[in-house]
Structure 1
Amino acid sequence: MAESGEELAEAQREHWERTYGARPGMYGERPSEPAVRAAAVFRAAGAREVLELGAGHGRDALYFARAGFDVLAADFSPAGLEQLRRGAAAQGVGGRITTAVHDVREPLPLADASVDGVFAHMLLCMALSTPEIHGLVGEVRRVLRPGGAFVYTVRHTGDAHYRAGTSRGDGIWEHGGFAVHFFPRALVDALAEGWTLREVHPFEEGELPRRLWRVTQTAPG
């Protein structure tokens, strides 16, 4: 029997929880390059409050806090967020970070127009269906203040792992236990409808290397 979307989502949640438990701080302490770029975008826009989706163990959330932003870090892994909280306490930025265990398939637990910027590094290209991705971006637009920036990264169909491993349908391929939704450019453009699309920047990350786009778009002002 084919695996349903809910079954795949739960399997991925369990996989990430085990991974964070077995490999604490697996991505290291240095912020990702997209987070550094996003901080510059947020700072230029005068942002103060930033939401990070898929924060994991917190290397980027901690960087945002050290840079002076108030951060809400959301992830569906309690193990990852516990590591983030310990890191925040150790770095003296615990007062700037709030964590929330949250599955992005559900509405964001925030009021309308309540944050200045949103960041998501490879969260949108996890095991999310195309309708779920559209729903999430709609939620991001809801919680962003007018003119707020959304900076996200996704692996795309030029990546070496595209069509490798097991197909889960809808552009999702599972390889090494991790399911990835590989983005065609048309999906990026569709997600920018009703926004101002500022940049689609190609870059590479990791040893494979992974091939990604860094997308910056702003909500109507």
Structure 2
Amino acid sequence: MTGDEQDLAAAQRAHWQNTYVAHPGMYGEEPSAPGVHAAAAFRAAGARDVLELGSGHGRDALYFAREGFTVQATDFSATGLEQLRRAALAEGTAGRVTTTVCDVRDALRMPDASVDAVFAHMLLCMALSTGEIRALVGEVRRVLRPGGTFVYTVRHTGDAHYGTGTAHGDDIYEHGGFAVHFFPRALVDSLAEGWNLDEVHAFEEGELPRRLWRVTQTLPPSPGSERRV
């Protein structure tokens, strides 16, 4: 990581931490539309345990728990995860949710082939370099069991904010303190090499509106293996 990348990463960690302090539960209690889709996809694949990357204050992690999954929720904001834990206790799902503070620029602190499914809503399009994104997807591949499902969403280069605001290079642009790595379609396709790319679904969310892709991809099963049912 270069000095400029380190500075940007540190600034984004501080910005998100301060944002969760100032706006507890900022995304509300209802799950995101991609989270609802992911739960259905995970259930159809026979998944039981889910790793969520960039869970924030936990609206989707809590939804997965209510749907019966065991959830490992990660974020680099300790404040967001504390809000998640309090909400899980309040609604009675704390027994199905664990939280870990982590920066996805580092290796995931999980064993190989240890989860059935991974979910990341707009985590991959944070202030991560293309190299860091590729390394992260490699880590997702490592921790997924054969046949496992990965659902992620990213803002793409068709978004109105692409190419505007403060440019940080590598298709990263900053607006209002939030830095976003906008994805070209070629990056989505390259991240799916060695996977089964099941779907790239275009959708809009929030104000502006933000334009995103919801990507669903699965690991091929090991020869002769069968998924748990």
TM-score normalised by the chain length of structure 2: 0.95
CA distance in 2, matches of 1:135, 1:87: 32
CA distance in 2, matches of 1:204, 1:164: 19
1:1-150 to 2 correspondences below 5 Å: 4-150=4-150
Instruction: Give the aligned residue type for 2:95.
Output: G
CA distance in 1, matches of 2:207, 2:101: 30
Task: Tell me which residue corresponds to 2:225.
Answer: none
Give the CA deviation at 1:207: 1.5
| Structure 1 segments (4+ residues) deviating >2 Å | none
The one-character-per-residue Cα deviations of 1:36-85 (angstroms, maximum 9, x if unpaired) are 00000000011000000000000000000000000000000000000000
SS in 1 for 2:217: strand
CA distance in 2, matches of 1:127, 1:155: 12
For structure 2, the residue ranges without an aligned partner over 5 or more in a row are 222-229
SS in 2 for 1:35: helix
CA distance in 2, matches of 1:33, 1:3: 37
Instruction: Give the aligned residue type for 2:69.
Output: F
CA distance in 1, matches of 2:217, 2:114: 17
CA distance in 2, matches of 1:207, 1:124: 20
SS in 1 for 2:174: strand
CA distance in 2, matches of 1:219, 1:103: 24
CA distance in 2, matches of 1:106, 1:207: 32
Instruction: Give the aligned residue type for 1:62.
Output: L
SS in 2 for 1:28: coil
Give the CA deviation at 1:132: 0.2
Give the CA deviation at 1:163: 1.0
For structure 1, the residue ranges without an aligned partner over 5 or more in a row are none
CA distance in 1, matches of 2:211, 2:164: 14
SS in 2 for 1:19: helix
SS in 1 for 2:110: coil
CA distance in 2, matches of 1:220, 1:138: 14
Task: Tell me which residue corresponds to 2:227.
Answer: none
Task: Tell me which residue corresponds to 1:187.
Answer: 187
Task: Tell me which residue corresponds to 2:212.
Answer: 212
The one-character-per-residue Cα deviations of 1:137-159 (angstroms, maximum 9, x if unpaired) are 00000000000000000000000
SS in 2 for 1:41: helix
Give the CA deviation at 1:3: 6.4
CA distance in 2, matches of 1:13, 1:207: 23
Instruction: Give the aligned residue type for 1:98.
Output: T
CA distance in 2, matches of 1:208, 1:98: 34
Instruction: Give the aligned residue type for 2:32.
Output: S
SS in 2 for 1:158: coil
What percent of counterpart residues are identical? 75
